[in-house]
Amino acid sequence: MNSTRGQDGFTLVEVLIALGIAALITSALGTAIFQILDRSARGGETVRALNDIQNAGQWLYLDGERAETTDLVESASPVDKMRLDWVTDGVSHTATYTIDGTELVRDHNGVLTTVARYVSNADFSISNRLITVNLTSTPGSTGTSKDITYNIWLRPN
C-alpha cells in the first residue's frame, strides 16, 4: 500500500487561493503603472505647452520693445493677427504675428519663423499703447492646455 502522507505539494484549494492573490496584485500593479504613465504624459505635455508659450513670449517682447507702431486698433476687440513696425539705424522693420493652423508664425521682413507650436488660440489687443497678448497652447491629446497673457508697451514715437 502506498501512503501519501510524506509527499510534499499543494492542494487544489491552496493553488486557487494563490492564483486569486496573484491576480489581485497584478491588477493593482497594472492600474498603478497606467496611472503613472498617464500622469507622465500629461506632465510632458504641460512642460511642452509652457515652453512653447515662453518661446513665443520672448519673440513678442523682443519685437514689442522695439516697436513704435502697430496695426491694432485702440480699445477694439481682440484680433488673431498683429503687425509691429519700427525703424533701427534708418532701416524699417515689420514683424507680423499670425496663427497658421496650430502654429504662431512670425514674419519679420519676409522671413518666416514658427515661434510656437500647439497654439489653439492667440488674441492681440491694445489700450493706451499697452499691447495685450493672450496665448493658449494645447499640445497632445490629453486635453492639457496652458493660457498666458503678455503685456508689452510700445516704444514712444
Higher pLDDT, 60 or 3: 60
Q: Which of 80, 96, 95 is nearest to 133 (CA)?
A: 80
Q: Which of 106, 105, 81, 85 is nearest to 94 (CA)?
A: 85
How far apart, in whole angstroms, are the C-alpha atoms of residue 80 and residue 68? Answer: 20
Question: Is the predicted pLDDT of residue 74 greater than 70, yes or no?
Answer: yes
Domain-embedded: residue 3: no
Which three cell numbers mark 87? 525703424
Domain-embedded: residue 6: no
Strands in 119-127's sheet, in edge-to-edge order, are 119-127, 130-137, 146-153
- Give the DSSP per-residue string, 50-93: HHHHHHHHHHHHHHHHH-SEESPPBTPPPBSEEEEEEEETTEEE
Question: Is the predicted pLDDT of residue 39 greater than 90, yes or no?
Answer: no
Q: Which of 91, 73, 68 is nearest to 82 (CA)?
A: 73
Question: Is the predicted pLDDT of residue 115 greater than 70, yes or no?
Answer: yes
Identify the pLDDT of residue 83: 96
Give the pLDDT mean for 36-54: 74
Question: Is the predicted pLDDT of residue 1 greater than 60, yes or no?
Answer: no
Percentage with pLDDT > 90 across the chain: 45
Eight-class DSSP state of 151: E
Percentage with pLDDT > 70 across the chain: 89
Give the pLDDT mean for 36-55: 75
Domain-embedded: residue 136: yes
Identify the pLDDT of residue 59: 92
Mean pLDDT score of the chain: 86
Identify the pLDDT of residue 8: 78
Domain-embedded: residue 132: yes
How many structural domains are present in the chain? 1
154 in Cβ contact with 69 (< 8 Å): yes
Give kind and range of the element (H or E) at residue 122: strand 119-127
Residue span of the structural domain in which 18 resides: 12-153
117 in Cβ contact with 100 (< 8 Å): no
